[in-house]
């Protein structure tokens, strides 16, 4: 499977953010899967202005098929509008909007039913990590977020809450430990897909992250808002050539 480089513009972009995309180079992304998740209001602009090597992703998906759910955007609507990936269960949705893993499981089901490729985020808090219970916590979060969706194709992003928006992000040993567990859990649930890392990924640290054997890509927040995103993709490419894929 190709390495994946995903961006997430969160609520941090404007119409002008698209301008830097014209300065990305196709060769930086050659042989990779790449997307940027935009707020729904910018999907139409993304359809016009994204270069061919970038897929459009949603930052969230409604958990119902359709109906009287003011403000929601369904998986079917996203697919109708050329969206190919959807981030679900991001910690900012879980923390600020009260999303439970059960709600995330409904969203996952909608994605799979409508052919949207889900990128499911899991991650522990700093307290959980210092208590040494992160592996149990993550297993539970993954199991509950997957719901009954075994035998499916889902990319899983490990995004520790304490690393998102931080200066350094998580260390290589910390990422490796969790990524290996995630691969094992995916196998036990019959889930195929890539394991990504997210949390302060930059041009400076991406080479050591992608060198981790069980990491198949990165999810980039802040550094996806400018040309650094192209530099990150370029380094993922370069490093991926030097290791066998999982
Ligand atoms: P960050 O965000 O790269 O700005 O830390 C990552 C994320 O939230 O996916």
Is 114 noted as a catalytic residue in this protein? Answer: no
Reported confidence tier of residue 243, pLDDT bands at 50, 70, 90: low
Q: Indicate if the pLDDT at residue 228 is higher than 60.
A: yes
Is 159 noted as a catalytic residue in this protein? Answer: yes
pLDDT, residue 151, reads 80
Among the atoms of ligand 1, which is closest to the Cα of residue 164?
Answer: 5
**C-beta of 12 in contact with ligand 1 (< 6 A):** no
Q: pLDDT tens for residues 40-69?
A: 999 999 999 999 999 999 999 999 999 999
Q: Supply the residue whose CA is at minimum distance from atom 1 of ligand 1.
A: 221
* 23 contact partners, CB below 8 Å, separation of at least 6: 227, 230
Instruction: Among 5, 201, 224, say which to mutate for ligand 1: greatest number of ligand atoms within 8 Å of CB.
Output: 201
Among the atoms of ligand 1, which is closest to the Cα of residue 199?
Answer: 5
User: Cα(123)–Cα(102) distance, rounded to whole angstroms?
Assistant: 16
Does an H or E element contain 35, and which? strand 33-38
CA 245 – ligand 1 centroid, Å: 24
SS3 39: coil
Minimum mean pLDDT range among 66-75, 114-123, 143-152: 143-152
pLDDT, residue 197, reads 98
Rounded to the nearest angstrom, the gap between the alpha carbon of residue 186 and the centroid of all alpha carbons in its chain is 16
* Cβ atoms 110, 74 nearer than 8 A: yes
Minimum mean pLDDT range among 58-67, 87-96, 127-136, 140-149: 140-149
Alpha carbon distances (Å) from 87 to 13, 30, 35, 155, 219: 17, 23, 11, 9, 10
What percentage of the chain carries pLDDT values higher than 70?
98
In this prediction, residues 13-35 reach a mean pLDDT of 98
User: Cα(99)–Cα(96) distance, rounded to whole angstroms?
Assistant: 8
* 162 contact partners, CB below 8 Å, separation of at least 6: 125, 126, 129, 170, 199
pLDDT, residue 150, reads 77
Angle at 29 between CA 44 and CA 164, to 5 degrees: 75
Q: Indicate if the pLDDT at residue 245 is higher than 60.
A: no
pLDDT, residue 149, reads 81
CA 164 – ligand 1 centroid, Å: 5
CA 9 – ligand 1 centroid, Å: 9
């Amino acid at each position: 499977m190709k390495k994946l480089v995903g961006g997430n513009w969160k609520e941090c972009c404007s119409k002008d953010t698209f301008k830097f995309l014209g300065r990305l180079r196709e060769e930086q992304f050659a042989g990779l899967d790449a997307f940027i998740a935009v707020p729904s209001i910018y999907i139409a602009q993304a359809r016009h202005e994204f270069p061919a090597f970038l897929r459009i992703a949603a930052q969230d998906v409604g958990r119902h098929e359709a109906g009287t759910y003011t403000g929601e955007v369904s998986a079917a609507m996203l697919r109708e509008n050329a969206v190919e990936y959807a981030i679900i269960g991001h910690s900012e949705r879980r923390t600020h909007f009260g999303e439970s893993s059960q709600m995330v499981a409904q969203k996952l089901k909608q994605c799979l039913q409508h052919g949207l490729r889900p990128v499911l985020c899991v991650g522990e808090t700093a307290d959980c990590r210092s208590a040494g219970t992160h592996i149990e916590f993550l297993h539970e979060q993954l199991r509950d977020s997957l719901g009954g969706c075994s035998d499916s194709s889902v990319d899983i992003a490990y995004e520790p809450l304490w690393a998102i928006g931080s200066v350094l992000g998580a260390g290589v040993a910390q990422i490796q430990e969790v990524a290996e567990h995630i691969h094992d859990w995916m196998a036990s649930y019959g889930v195929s897909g890539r394991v990504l890392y997210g949390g302060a990924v930059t041009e400076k640290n991406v080479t050591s992250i992608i060198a981790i054997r069980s990491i198949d890509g990165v999810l980039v927040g802040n550094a996806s808002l400018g040309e650094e995103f192209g530099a990150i993709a370029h380094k993922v490419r370069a490093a991926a050539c030097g290791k066998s894929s999982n």
